[in-house]
């Protein structure tokens, strides 16, 4: 995965991107576009979570905090101060990144996986409870509505671009931009010296320390970057769905959904979370016919994947062709996974 | 009594033991000497069942024991004192020692064996209520050996029993090995030091990079050219 | 606020604390022996609640056998879950994470199973005992006295079992050094299964006692498991006495906290306390400081 992609790999990626970008021009079904938009949002979320968990070895279970922070920050600021969402969205990313730093500092002092899981989850719960408690501003579980959509603009030669519930195409391209941008950012970080350092951390904390790699700085950077991306996605989600409740963007369910996608796709790989997000978002929708049983199946599926396919769906891709080049050489076990705590 | 034949052990893809064969006779003291990382501990762990061999057989009195889980071995008369003592730090000395007789097959004789180990190691009676984790290394080693003896083993294995101990304590432990052996218990131990290994054993093996390269009586091993040249620097 | 009111809040805090303690103790027991964080703990609690609802509220079985059957059934299900998932994963690399993921899956599965079986309505369970205990102006429903009494009894029994029985020794030995325990003849896998079932049973006891107070629904486990996380962080992950002290501490601090603010702040106080502890004393009150 850290070797340059083989030619087939590059071509496959280019083809997938092309399909993604051309799709709304040929397929106008609003519902399908909506599903793909959600897949891209969750896909990017899963990539960002996987980046801290699979690469940086910080096994957080509270990344939905940043999604919620991004969503609520952008929604509240744009709504109450009449600032365009085009500005509040990146600002939301920065706020989430700052929050990420606040969480990462105590987390970095702890090596045990369960402790990290509990602190991060606890942080997200605090954010959720606070948003519920301050219901004068957030309307709590009643739901925050009246969130402004993105302002329209005119592209010369193409005409006017309008963001509203009926018109999915502009949202689609914005989501695609965020999705591809997030993936690109994560790929760049994984392949940079920082990324190599992160792999060193994952494989052996002690070895990395003895090499003189400044773990704290790299881990902080990884965590903040990841939080930034998730914050952006949350803000996009707010201005797309236009209705927020603390439990919808800050519930543990959301985190479990993203974790499930990553596990099913393949944790610690680049392509796995994306694959998992698309398969699960579309798959869960396709299972709508069986109604309430789909989450039951979802839970069973997570257990089954952990038990029988620990490398996830990407493992199947590896078997497809020679050097498909996506998720290989992954080992989730790290030195600090050993009995500590 | 114990016969290890062509033992192979792999950790993942890395093979650490290659065709290791060794025997321990009734009432014998046998030492496996080898440098750090040569795979000494792995031999003992494979015999007791903490690691699964990928090849070869281990038999005890002719019966195959390789592949049996570790928790059944105490019932078959095989006991292991793990490297670095490995006591239960939050349990008292007495609890630690009594845990040695946990296996259902040996439980009935717990009382008399407790008297026996208290006779061998008076410190157990003196410190019975103390938390094991708070003792010194030498004291912990005594308790660990006592725990290993509580199951009344025919074969007591010790993984680096002298590691990190003061010379005075080392002498005490050598003395204990003699006493145990005098009662007819076979002893198989690991050690890095040539003198400690071979002057305290009837027979010895030299292990290098996971292979047995030399075997012989303790005396012969001490005198052997290769041992002298490589390990004693003469 | 009158003194009586404050006292009532405090007593309620202690009673709720006893429930936190029992939940936390189960989680700590499981963590202590297997080093895994059981995300499905809340769902075992939920199942306990539903079983009591089914047996006692719906089928009018006497509360004593109803609770016993409910707790035993939860323990059995937990043992099965442990055998089929955790026991297998513990032998593999990366188990610290994979066991968390697996228990998360189990948690979603059980939640939605309950949803499919019993629906999403809040189901109320009548009090096991009616009436109020009154001392001067101070009043307390007998149900709450019962909660406290059973909780203390269960915890005392567990403490005795851990301290003085062979099984308890085996659990402690496995927790402290699984290899060394195996060498002296402790069948670690069996101890793990029994401990997991026992931990889940403790959650079911808490649920059985609280069902009449909080009502029963498929999502009732989430708030409690999160409180149990706070408890084990306060007490030290894996420490049984720590979880008990942590549980009472949390109950009391919450009670005092909400009399000073309002009951909405209950969870903020709890998590704030957890984060504070992780800053200043990450190994908890009773935990051992590790590398």
Name the nearest CA neighbour of C201 among C85, C65, C73.
Answer: C73
d(CA C208, CA C203): 9
- What is the predicted pLDDT for the residue at A22? 82
DSSP letter (8 states) at residue A252:
H
Taking a C-beta distance cutoff of 8 angstroms, is the pair A234, A240 a contact? no
Number of neighbours of residue B142 by Cβ within 10 angstroms: 25
Which tokens go with A126? 């605090």
Give percent helix, percent strand, percent coil of chain A, each to the nearest 5: 75, 5, 25
d(CA C44, CA C59): 21
Host H or E run for residue B22: strand B14-24
- What is the predicted pLDDT for the residue at A336? 34
Which tokens go with C143? 């149900």
Strand bridging mode B78-81 / B155-158: parallel
pLDDT > 90 in chain B, percent: 82
pLDDT tens sequence across B114-147: 999 999 999 999 999 999 999 999 999 999 999 9
Radius of gyration of chain C (CA): 19
Q: 3-state class of A17 per DSSP?
A: helix
* Inter-chain CB proximity C278 and A130 less than 8 Å: no
- What is the predicted pLDDT for the residue at B234? 62
Taking a C-beta distance cutoff of 8 angstroms, is the pair C224, C42 a contact? yes
Taking a C-beta distance cutoff of 8 angstroms, is the pair B173, B141 a contact? yes
B86 touches C at CB < 8 Å? yes
- What is the predicted pLDDT for the residue at A209? 60
* Inter-chain CB proximity A106 and C107 less than 8 Å: no
Give B91→chain C minimum CA distance, Å: 8
d(CA A53, CA B177): 50
Question: Quick one: closest CA in C to A294, which residue?
Answer: C112
Distance separating the N- and C-terminal Cα atoms of chain C:
47
Give B45→chain C minimum CA distance, Å: 10
* Inter-chain CB proximity C100 and A256 less than 8 Å: no
Which residues in chain A have Cβ-Cβ distances shorter than 8 Å to C88? 307
- Is the predicted ipTM greater than 0.95, yes or no? no
Strand partners of residue B208: B211
- What is the predicted pLDDT for the residue at A326? 42
* Inter-chain CB proximity C185 and B91 less than 8 Å: no
Taking a C-beta distance cutoff of 8 angstroms, is the pair C64, C233 a contact? no
Name the nearest CA neighbour of A306 among C41, C81, C100.
Answer: C100
Which tokens go with C115? 């949803």
CATH of domain B2-83+154-232: 3.40.50.300
- What is the predicted pLDDT for the residue at A6? 66
* Strands annotated E in chain A: 144-145, 153-155, 159-161, 243-244
Taking a C-beta distance cutoff of 8 angstroms, is the pair B140, B87 a contact? yes
Give A204→chain C minimum CA distance, Å: 13
Mutate to test the interface with A, among C23, C36, C37, C83 (most CBs of A within 10 A): C37
* Inter-chain CB proximity B73 and C177 less than 8 Å: no
Taking a C-beta distance cutoff of 8 angstroms, is the pair A119, C275 a contact? yes
B50 touches C at CB < 8 Å? yes
Which residues in chain C have Cβ-Cβ distances shorter than 8 Å to A109? 282
Number of neighbours of residue C119 by Cβ within 10 angstroms: 12
Which residues in chain C have Cβ-Cβ distances shorter than 8 Å to B82? 179-180, 183
Taking a C-beta distance cutoff of 8 angstroms, is the pair B201, B31 a contact? yes
DSSP letter (8 states) at residue A147:
P
How many helices and strands (H and E) does chain C possess? 12, 2
Taking a C-beta distance cutoff of 8 angstroms, is the pair A239, A249 a contact? no
d(CA C87, CA C111): 22
Burial of C92 (0-12, 13-18, 19+ CB in 10 A): middle
Calculate the alpha carbon distances from C28 to A17, C33, C291 in Å. 48, 8, 19
d(CA A57, CA A268): 9
Q: Residue A328's Cα: distance from chain center in Å?
A: 21
Give B8→chain C minimum CA distance, Å: 20
Question: Quick one: closest CA in B to C189, which residue?
Answer: B71
| Partner B, chain C 65-84, Cβ-Cβ below 8 Å | none
Which residues in chain B have Cβ-Cβ distances shorter than 8 Å to C182? 49-50, 69-71
* Inter-chain CB proximity A125 and C237 less than 8 Å: no
Q: Find where tokens 């609770």 sit.
A: C67
* Strands annotated E in chain C: 132-135, 138-141
Name the nearest CA neighbour of B99 among B112, B85, B88, B86.
Answer: B88
C96 touches A at CB < 8 Å? yes
Which tokens go with B210? 């996971």
d(CA C116, CA A296): 9
Strand partners of residue B156: B79, B187
The parts of chain C modelled with pLDDT lower than 70 are: 1, 288-291
* Inter-chain CB proximity C97 and A337 less than 8 Å: yes
| Partner C, chain A 62-101, Cβ-Cβ below 8 Å | none
Taking a C-beta distance cutoff of 8 angstroms, is the pair C185, B71 a contact? yes
- What is the predicted pLDDT for the residue at A324? 40
Q: 3-state class of C39 per DSSP?
A: coil
- Mean predicted confidence (pLDDT) in B214-232: 87
Taking a C-beta distance cutoff of 8 angstroms, is the pair B118, B154 a contact? no
pLDDT tens sequence across B29-85: 999 999 888 889 999 999 999 999 999 999 999 999 988 999 999 999 999 999 888
Which residues in chain A have Cβ-Cβ distances shorter than 8 Å to C96? 59, 112-114, 337
* Inter-chain CB proximity C89 and A307 less than 8 Å: yes
Taking a C-beta distance cutoff of 8 angstroms, is the pair A311, A266 a contact? yes
d(CA A109, CA B114): 45
Identify the structural domains of chain C with CATH numbers, from first to last: 3-280 (1.10.3470)
* Inter-chain CB proximity B90 and C186 less than 8 Å: no
- What is the predicted pLDDT for the residue at A341? 29
Give C10→chain A minimum CA distance, Å: 23
Question: Quick one: closest CA in C to A297, which residue?
Answer: C109
Give B104→chain C minimum CA distance, Å: 8
* Inter-chain CB proximity A332 and C93 less than 8 Å: yes
d(CA C167, CA C193): 13
Question: Quick one: closest CA in B to C164, which residue?
Answer: B95
For chain B, domain boundaries = 2-83+154-232
The parts of chain A modelled with pLDDT lower than 70 are: 1-6, 194, 197-198, 200-215, 291-292, 318-341
Burial of C185 (0-12, 13-18, 19+ CB in 10 A): buried
Q: 3-state class of C57 per DSSP?
A: helix
d(CA C74, CA C86): 17
pTM for the predicted model, two decimal places = 0.86
Burial of B87 (0-12, 13-18, 19+ CB in 10 A): buried
For chain A, domain boundaries = 7-337
């Amino acid at each position: 995965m850290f070797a340059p992609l083989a030619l087939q790999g590059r071509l496959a990626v280019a083809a997938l991107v092309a399909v993604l970008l051309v799709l709304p021009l040929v397929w106008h079904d609003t519902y399908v576009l909506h599903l793909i938009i959600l897949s891209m949002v969750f896909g990017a979320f899963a990539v960002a979570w996987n980046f801290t968990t699979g690469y940086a070895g910080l096994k957080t279970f509270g990344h939905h905090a940043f999604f919620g922070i991004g969503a609520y920050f952008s929604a509240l600021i744009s709504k109450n101060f009449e600032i365009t969402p085009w500005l509040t969205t990146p600002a939301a990313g920065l706020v989430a990144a700052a929050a990420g730093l606040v969480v990462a500092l105590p987390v970095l002092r702890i090596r045990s996986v369960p402790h990290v899981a509990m602190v991060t989850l606890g942080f997200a719960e605090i954010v959720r409870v606070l948003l519920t408690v301050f219901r004068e501003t957030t309307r709590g579980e009643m739901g925050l509505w009246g969130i402004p959509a993105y302002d329209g603009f005119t592209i010369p030669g193409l005409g006017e671009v309008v963001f509203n519930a009926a018109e999915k195409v502009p949202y689609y391209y914005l989501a695609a931009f965020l999705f591809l941008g997030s993936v690109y950012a994560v790929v760049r970080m994984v392949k940079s010296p920082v990324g190599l350092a992160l792999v060193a951390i994952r494989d052996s904390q002690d070895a990395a320390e003895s090499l003189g790699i400044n773990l704290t700085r790299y881990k902080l950077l990884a965590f903040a970057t990841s939080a930034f991306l998730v914050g952006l996605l949350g803000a996009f989600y707010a201005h797309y769905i236009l209705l927020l409740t603390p439990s919808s963007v800050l519930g543990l369910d959301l985190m479990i959904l993203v974790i499930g996608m990553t596990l099913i796709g393949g944790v610690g790989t680049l392509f796995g979370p994306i694959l998992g997000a698309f398969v699960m978002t579309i798959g869960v929708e396709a299972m709508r016919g069986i109604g309430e049983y789909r989450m039951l199946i979802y839970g069973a599926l997570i257990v089954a994947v952990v038990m029988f396919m620990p490398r996830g769906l990407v493992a199947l891709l590896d078997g497809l062709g020679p050097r498909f080049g996506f998720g290989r050489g992954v080992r989730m076990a790290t030195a600090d996974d050993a009995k500590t705590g | 009594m114990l016969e290890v034949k062509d033992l192979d052990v792999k950790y993942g893809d890395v093979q650490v033991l290659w065709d290791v064969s060794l025997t321990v006779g009734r009432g014998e003291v046998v030492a496996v000497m080898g440098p750090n990382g040569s795979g000494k501990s792995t031999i003992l762990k494979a015999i007791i069942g903490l690691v699964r061999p990928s090849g070869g057989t281990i038999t005890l009195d002719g019966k195959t024991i390789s592949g049996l889980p570790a928790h059944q071995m105490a019932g078959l008369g095989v006991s292991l004192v793990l490297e670095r003592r490995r006591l239960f730090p939050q349990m008292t000395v007495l609890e630690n020692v009594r845990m040695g007789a946990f296996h259902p097959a040996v439980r009935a004789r717990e009382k008399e064996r407790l008297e026996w180990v208290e006779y061998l190691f008076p410190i157990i009676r003196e410190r019975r209520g103390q938390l094991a984790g708070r003792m010194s290394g030498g004291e912990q080693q005594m308790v660990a050996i006592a725990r290993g003896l509580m199951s009344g083993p025919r074969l007591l294995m010790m993984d680096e029993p002298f590691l990190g101990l003061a010379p005075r304590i080392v002498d005490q432990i050598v003395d204990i090995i003699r006493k145990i052996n005098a009662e007819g218990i076979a002893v198989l131990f690991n050690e890095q030091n040539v003198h400690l290994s071979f002057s305290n054993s009837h027979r010895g093996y030299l292990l290098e990079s996971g292979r047995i390269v030399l075997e012989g009586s303790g005396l012969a091993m001490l005198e052997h050219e290769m041992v002298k040249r490589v390990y004693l620097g003469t | 606020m009158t003194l009586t009111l404050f006292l009532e809040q405090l007593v309620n805090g202690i009673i709720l604390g006893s429930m936190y303690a029992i939940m936390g103790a189960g989680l700590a027991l499981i963590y202590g022996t297997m080093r895994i964080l059981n995300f499905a703990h809340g769902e075992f609690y939920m199942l306990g609640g539903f079983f009591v609802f089914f047996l006692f509220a719906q089928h009018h079985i006497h509360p004593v056998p109803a609770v016993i059957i409910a707790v035993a059934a939860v323990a059995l299900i937990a043992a099965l879950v442990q055998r089929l998932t955790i026991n297998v994963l513990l032998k593999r690399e990366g188990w610290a994470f994979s066991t968390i993921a697996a228990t998360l899956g189990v948690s979603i599965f059980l939640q939605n199973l309950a949803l499919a079986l019993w629906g999403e309505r809040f189901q109320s369970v009548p009090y096991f005992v009616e009436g109020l205990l009154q001392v001067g102006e101070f009043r307390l429903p007998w149900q709450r006295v019962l909660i406290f009494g059973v909780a203390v009894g269960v915890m005392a029994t567990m403490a005795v079992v851990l301290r003085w029985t062979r099984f308890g020794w085996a659990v402690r030995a496995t927790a402290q050094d699984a290899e060394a325990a195996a060498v002296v003849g402790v069948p670690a896998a069996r101890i793990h299964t029994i401990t997991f079932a026992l931990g889940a049973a403790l959650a079911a006891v808490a649920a059985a006692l609280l069902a009449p107070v909080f009502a029963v629904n498929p999502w009732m486990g989430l708030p409690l498991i999160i409180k149990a996380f706070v408890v084990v962080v306060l007490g030290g992950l894996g420490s049984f006495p720590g979880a008990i002290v942590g549980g009472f501490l949390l109950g009391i601090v919450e009670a005092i906290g909400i009399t000073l603010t309002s009951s909405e702040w209950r969870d903020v106080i709890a998590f704030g306390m957890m984060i504070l502890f992780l800053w200043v004393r990450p190994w908890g009150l009773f935990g051992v400081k590790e590398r």
